Structure 1
Amino acid sequence: MKSPQEKPLILDKKTALAKAESWCAYQERSQQEVRNKLYDWQLKPSEVEEIIGELIVNNFLNEERFALAYASGKANIKKWGKLKIKQGLKLKKVPDKLIQKALNSLDGDKYFEDLCQAVLKKEKTLTEKDPFKKKYKLLNYLMGKGYEKDLIFLALKANNLSE
């Protein structure tokens, strides 16, 4: 959180473009993230859109590339399910077509394998004796991670945890 005496950063268009290029080169960004950052720098709406156009033309900003990187990163590193990844992309205002493309790019076998690993890992930490309550807790945990209900049931069945 910013301290009260800290002044907001006010940049001219040329400096803002250079800073935005550097910021986008560091990691993939969505258009909305860049737009928010430019508004934080006190730029006018017309300047913001011009800079975003420049970034797209110079290939610093690519919404499809961002969506693919976001989806694979969240699936492979954080082990999120497709529903949570989709929600994250929607929050970043990525178009539905690109969200679908990013989700389809995920390897289905690896995705299911990650789900099964999550089942086993969580199952070891549960102290619940009642098998129905245990299954319910596993289901809630995995749904919280964004996995689809039908796949969760398949994973539970594959690990002999369904009654």
Structure 2
Amino acid sequence: MTDQTKEILRRAASFCAYQERTQREVRERLNEWDVYGDEAEEIIAWLIENNYLNEERFAKTFAGSKFRVKRWGKQKIKQHLKQRGITGYNLDQAMKEIETDDYRQTLIDLLEKKRRTLKEENPLVLKQKLIRYAIGKGYESDLIWSVLGAEE
């Protein structure tokens, strides 16, 4: 292993240790460092073997934090994970990070908070605005209807 390869490994490990990353993000960074092809794949394999890079861990962390901190719905979380190249098993594992009861309660809390900010008299228009808001946050329309229907 050349000194240059060791330096790139060190930089890549540091890049992954700072924050959870996907293979796509690491590949893009390696491209910026002019590392391509087999050399890039060997570095990624080394990062995976040494547990610097783990897409399941990334997906779980991403889903959990976007739900808890930004209060995103599953649709929006899935969309963002897919944009980062996370699919299949890792995507399913990420969705399991979100408890059904917490998910529903978070939607209820979000809608109550949003309702307090709206100055709408017409109940139909108010409901429409709440639905649009929740869909924008990534919640499923059937769950939104169920929550809003339960309030009436």
The TM-score, its normalising length taken from structure 1, stands at 0.87
The Cα of 1:45 is off from its aligned counterpart by 2.1
**CA separation in 1, counterparts of 2:36 and 2:11?**
16
Q: Which residue of 2 is the match for residue 35 of structure 1?
A: 27
Q: Which residue of 2 is the match for residue 47 of structure 1?
A: 39
Q: Quick check: 1:154 aligned with 2:146?
A: yes
Q: Which residue of 2 is the match for residue 142 of structure 1?
A: 134
**CA separation in 1, counterparts of 2:20 and 2:147?**
32
Q: 4+ residue runs of structure 1 moved beyond 4 angstroms?
A: none
**CA separation in 2, counterparts of 1:148 and 1:51?**
39
**CA separation in 1, counterparts of 2:151 and 2:22?**
38
**CA separation in 2, counterparts of 1:93 and 1:80?**
19
Matches within 5 A, 1:85-100: 85-100=77-92
For the 8 Å contact 1:13–1:43, the answer to whether it is kept is: no
Corresponding residue to 2:75 among 83, 93, 103: 83
**CA separation in 2, counterparts of 1:40 and 1:56?**
20
Which structure has greater helix proportion? 2
**CA separation in 2, counterparts of 1:32 and 1:124?**
41
**CA separation in 1, counterparts of 2:12 and 2:93?**
26
Question: RMSD between aligned alpha carbons?
Answer: 1.4
The Cα of 1:154 is off from its aligned counterpart by 1.7
Q: Which residue of 2 is the match for residue 8 of structure 1?
A: none
**CA separation in 1, counterparts of 2:60 and 2:18?**
16
The Cα of 1:33 is off from its aligned counterpart by 1.0
The TM-score, its normalising length taken from structure 2, stands at 0.93
Q: Number of residue pairs matched?
A: 150
**CA separation in 2, counterparts of 1:159 and 1:16?**
57
Which whole-Å deviations, capped at 9, do the CAs of 1:133-162 have from their partners, x for residues lacking one?
1111111110010000111112212333xx
- Report SS of the residue matched to 1:23: helix
Structure 2 residue runs of 5 or longer lacking an equivalent are none
Q: Which residue of 2 is the match for residue 130 of structure 1?
A: 122
For the 8 Å contact 1:74–1:85, the answer to whether it is kept is: yes
The percentage of counterpart residues that share the same residue type is: 46
**CA separation in 2, counterparts of 1:72 and 1:34?**
22
